[in-house]
Amino acid sequence: MSEALYLFISVAVMALVTYLIRMLPLSLFRKKIKSRFVLDFLYYVPYAVLAAMTIPAVFYSSNSIISAAAGFLVAAVLAFFERGLLTVAVCACGGVFLTELAMRLLGG
């Protein structure tokens, strides 16, 4: 399979699955979910997804694991104090940047 075809099918699969998940319940399904377990499971899914995607990938998101860890720490502290998404994201970037700058200056 050519690279272009692989990319195209991958994106098509992504888009189709994501669309159907949103479209079918909104268009066809009129019954309410009654199962407590299913409702609670669906409620916890976003948190589980985001935690699994963040750990440990966040530590490999920059040029060095040290600067990434610094950025993670900044994000964790600000998120703990409930700052907005944008603030947390931007400050995490700042943490990475300053750490790499310091490492470059100290490392000569």
Contact at 8 Å (CB) between 24 and 33?
no
Q: With binding defined as CB under 8 A, does residue 102 bind other proteins?
A: no
**In the complex, minimum distance from the CB of residue 34 to other proteins, in angstroms, rounded to a whole number:** 10
Q: Beta-carbon neighbour count of residue 81 at 10 Å?
A: 8
The CB-of-106 to other proteins minimum distance in angstroms stands at 15
Identify residues 42-101 at the interface with other proteins (CB under 8 A). 42-58, 61-63, 67-68, 71-72, 75-76, 78-80, 82-97, 100-101
Query: Is 10 a binder of other proteins (CB under 8 A)?
Result: yes
Smallest separation, CB 74 to other proteins (Å): 8
Token reading at 75: 């994000």
Q: How far is the CB of 2 from other proteins (least distance, A)?
A: 13
Residue from the set 2, 5, 32, 108 that interacts with other proteins by CB under 8 A: 32
Q: Which residue has the tokens 């990475």?
A: 96
Distances (CA, A) of 68 to 83, 91, 100: 20, 12, 9
Token pair of 49, please? 């997804």
Q: How far is CA 53 from the centre of its chain?
A: 6
